[in-house]
Amino acid sequence: MAGARVRTNSAARVLVMMAVQLWVMLRSVEAATYIVGDATGWTNTANGGASFYSSWASSKTFEVGDILVFNFVSGQHDVAVVSESNFNSCGTSNTISLLTTPPVNYNLTTNGTVYFICTHDSHCLQGQKLSITVGTASGPTASPPGTTPSPPGTTTPPSTTTSPPPPPNSSTGSMYVSGGVMFISMAVCLLTMW
């Protein structure tokens, strides 16, 4: 009878430890926060214009739940979420949303491509535009410097160059480490129980 009670208590301890470890593992897979343009921020004076933001985004893997932080000077810039055609033409008449108070924290809530431009003066035409793809390995798009955006209703042929996929989101490695730690901890608990 005493042996059965010891096994029951040990099993209960193992279950509690597994629950705590599962909670820790799930907490380790959190959303990433990205500062758009890093130290440069959201500006029309970035060296390289649209290619600057395209290069910045190509080194990231964006997932649902991530946050983009746009740092800019109030009254000199804004963040407009626009359609693909408005992104390509720098059109500002039908924005999806217009965010004017810095810093703008934009939550990525769905998979797909999201397009951002600045509506001040000719900032978008100067390259202050960003597109990101959420939840897939395909990279961002932007007009290369020195090119004219395509007029609405036209298509641009796809690029023939390929680039390696972006590195994985830094938070995904934590999941594997936590999962491994949890597995090893469970194995140790089960071995000590017997």
User: What average pLDDT does range 156-161 have in this prediction?
Assistant: 39
Q: Which ranges constitute the DSSP H helices of the chain?
A: 2-28, 50-58, 84-89, 172-193
Over residues 88-99, the pLDDT tens digits come to 999 998 999 999
Residue 181 has a pLDDT of 53
Percent of the chain's residues with pLDDT above 70: 56
112, with CB counted inside 10 A (0-12, 13-18, 19+), is: exposed
User: What average pLDDT does range 114-130 have in this prediction?
Assistant: 96
Over residues 16-72, the pLDDT tens digits come to 666 666 655 554 457 899 999 999 999 998 888 789 999 999 999 999 999 999 999
Taking only Cα atoms into account, the Rg of the chain, rounded to an integer number of angstroms, comes to 24
> What is the C-alpha separation between 101 and 77, in angstroms, rounded?
9
| Cα–Cα distance list, 160 to 85, 132, 138 (Å) | 22, 20, 14
User: Angle 172-193/2-28 helices, nearest 10 degrees?
Assistant: 170
CB-facing half-sphere around the CA of 88: CA atoms within 13 A: 12
